[in-house]
Structure 1
Amino acid sequence: MTRLFTSLALAAVTLSTATLAAAPHALAAPAPKAAATRPAPPVIHYRTATVDGVKVFYREAGPADGPVVLLLHGFPTSSHMFRDLIPLLADKYRVIAPDYPGYGQSDAPDHTQFAYTFANQADIVDKLVGQLGLKRYTMYVMDYGAPIGYRLALKHPERVSGLIVQNGNAYDEGLQSPFWDPIKVYWKDRSQKNRDALNGLVTLDITKFQYTDGMGDVSRISPDNWVHDQALLDRPGNRDIQLDMLGDYGSNVPFYPDFQKFFRDNQPPTLIVWGKNDKIFPEEGAHPYLRDLPKAEIHILDSGHFALEDRLTEMAPLIHDFLDRNLKK
């Protein structure tokens, strides 16, 4: 009997030791599951091409064989205005966003040596597009980008696969804001007095105003915007560049019937996303598009001039969905 108890005790000790030895493995937390695969953020390239002896900067992202989206910026900014939108489109689309000469990172030749006109800017963009081999593209046009893009469309209507219009005018109704009154005076009389009256339009107060006025949520607007733009406006000689462009904006108005005919004849798929509180290109300029593009999709947003700055989370899905439905490789 004593031997039996001894054997049972030894067995118990052996079992306890084995159990304790195995315990760290038995109680260890299960191996973590593999993290969900997330797509890598798109790579954005910052490139320069030489067009007619002028270095033209552009941002490029997305698959080289993807449908092309050409982003055409407004005043007083550059392709910088699209910095947050580009990564959201570049998953499927080849995105090209140039800076016009005199803007952003592109060369800014003296205004006595280079024609700062909308016709010439459209020619520069056209030649850049040619260098890049873009045979078809959807254009996002905003502010100055609208007449530049529409002039490009008149040159090559067969290349336009769609339009995204954001506070970019092509109708007389869109030029009735008091903002344009002193500019219209300069269109009629190019005197130095009338030119000097426009100096305030390139000051920090007005640059900041363009980014903040009428915005649904000003807390979304980064101050980097007007600091960045104003630094470029304040470069020696740049004020004259901007005054030349403001003076030449009037040359677009006689082309409005041609732009509208392009819309009617070609019926490109069109998405209109418009900041309704914009005092430069007010909402009255958005609705006339439907006369010539009755199938256009229109979204009027509680925003101002640079609607991407506070409504990106609304606009990006609308834009991506529009492209997905209308563009194919």
Structure 2
Amino acid sequence: MKTHLVTAMAAIIAISPVAADAACTPLKPVSAAKAVPVIHYKSAKIDGVKVFYREAGPKDAPVILLLHGFPTSSHMYRNLIPLLADRYRVIAPDYPGYGQSDAPDHEKFAYTFANLTVVVDKLTEQVGATRYSMYVMDYGAPIGYRLALKHPERVDSLIVQNGNAYTEGLAAFWDPIKAYWAERTPERREALAGLLTLETTKFQYTDGMGDIARISPDNWVHDQALLDRPGNKDIQLDLLGDYGSNVPLYPQFQAFFRERKPPTLIVWGKNDVIFPEAGAHPYLRDLPDAEMHILDSGHFALEDRLDVMAPLIRDFLDRKICK
């Protein structure tokens, strides 16, 4: 493992535009295209809905599909994308209702995990991504795993970061949400509105982090501005209510793991109260060869552990995908 980590760190340093020795010896000129992969900001029409996505990397390279969590967007991958895109084609969409994608009224568009999966599936087909590795996190996990059930042959590998597929991962944080699943009353729906406040959004980025000074305040300012858009409250409450539809699919997700045995890397922030560490270890029941790294971080681990996670991810992909 140490050898792999050192190799991956060297790879990351090699593509960094600031690599130099301690004496700051002048470097030979390097083209900007080679030093920093270019990210393109695009959109596609899926059933009349504009779906925004970030894309970088060679068109003919293996695809890495980055599926974001709540309450963010592809913005959460902004720092990881350049560290992968020299060798991989990276695609990071915003689901409808998030980021720069359209947010149609919840009475005209079904904000369900089944429907978001349809949107992501159609996007991958529209951009010609017929095979892919998936980085799944938070909401991205059930979307990614539903996608895997539809097209198991398309999944090259999995990178799992605080994304649940086991009942052990639904701890006390979920109790009021489970109450809404059990009884869809206006009172129980409104009780979840506190999850959409600035206080909660900031909490998701800062709680349990090993070094809060690494966390840019831009994260919660950006996410909250989008959460506060007119009509977005109902979108988010619809999805919180529909998250319960994923739980009956857990046995199917787990069967996919056992039967297809995709190469899997698990990088999990152990201090996350939303998807706690207890949800990470059950993966090994179905994926005993998975590589697991439990990190001293919280929910959005990429924000303070990118320096650890990026080499692990790069090393994993280079060994398992670009052999």
TM-score by length of 2: 0.90
Matching residue of 2:230: 236
What are the ranges of 5 or more consecutive residues in structure 2 without an aligned counterpart?
A: 1-24
Matching residue of 1:312: 306
Q: Name the SS of the counterpart of 1:96 in structure 2.
A: strand
Q: Structure 2 matches for 1:62-141, cutoff 5 A? A: 62-141=57-136
Matching residue of 1:21: none
Identity of aligned residues (%): 77
Summarize deviations over 1:5-58 as a string: whole Å, max 9, x none.
Answer: xxxxxxxxxxxxxxxxxxxxxxxxxxx987264732111000000001000000
Summarize deviations over 1:155-206 as a string: whole Å, max 9, x none.
Answer: 0000000000000000000002x21010000001111000000010000000
1:327 deviation in Å?
0.7
Higher Cα radius of gyration: 1
Summarize deviations over 1:226-259 as a string: whole Å, max 9, x none.
Answer: 0000000000000100000000000000000000
For 2:310, the aligned partner's letter is: A
For 2:63, the aligned partner's letter is: V
Q: Per the alignment, do residues 328 and 248 of structure 1 end up closer, same or farther by CA in structure 2, a change over 3 Å counting?
A: same
Is 1:217 paired with 2:211? yes
Which residue, out of 251, 265, 271, partners 1:271? 265
Matching residue of 1:50: 45
Is 1:35 paired with 2:28? yes
Which residue, out of 256, 269, 274, partners 1:280? 274
Matching residue of 1:159: 154
Matching residue of 1:174: 169
For 1:136, the aligned partner's letter is: R
Is 1:293 paired with 2:303? no
1:123 deviation in Å?
0.5
Residues in 2 aligned to 1:253 and 1:60: alpha-carbon distance in whole angstroms: 31
1:213 deviation in Å?
0.1
1:296 deviation in Å?
0.1
Matching residue of 1:326: 320
Q: Name the SS of the counterpart of 2:316 in structure 1.
A: helix
Residues in 2 aligned to 1:267 and 1:239: alpha-carbon distance in whole angstroms: 38
Residues in 2 aligned to 1:75 and 1:33: alpha-carbon distance in whole angstroms: 44
Which residue, out of 184, 194, 197, partners 2:188? 194
Matching residue of 2:137: 142
Q: Per the alignment, do residues 93 and 195 of structure 1 end up closer, same or farther by CA in structure 2, a change over 3 Å counting?
A: same
Q: Name the SS of the counterpart of 1:250 in structure 2.
A: helix
For 1:35, the aligned partner's letter is: K
Residues in 1 aligned to 2:94 and 2:194: alpha-carbon distance in whole angstroms: 23
Residues in 2 aligned to 1:164 and 1:34: alpha-carbon distance in whole angstroms: 35
For 1:278, the aligned partner's letter is: D
Residues in 2 aligned to 1:235 and 1:287: alpha-carbon distance in whole angstroms: 37
Q: Per the alignment, do residues 189 and 316 of structure 1 end up closer, same or farther by CA in structure 2, a change over 3 Å counting?
A: same
Residues in 2 aligned to 1:62 and 1:37: alpha-carbon distance in whole angstroms: 18
Q: Name the SS of the counterpart of 1:162 in structure 2.
A: strand
Q: Name the SS of the counterpart of 2:50 in structure 1.
A: strand
Residues in 2 aligned to 1:34 and 1:234: alpha-carbon distance in whole angstroms: 47
For 1:195, the aligned partner's letter is: R
Residues in 1 aligned to 2:120 and 2:307: alpha-carbon distance in whole angstroms: 29
Which residue, out of 57, 60, 64, partners 2:55? 60
Residues in 1 aligned to 2:99 and 2:183: alpha-carbon distance in whole angstroms: 29
Could you say what the CA RMSD is over the residues aligned between the two structures, in angstroms?
A: 1.2
For 2:180, the aligned partner's letter is: Y
For 2:117, the aligned partner's letter is: A
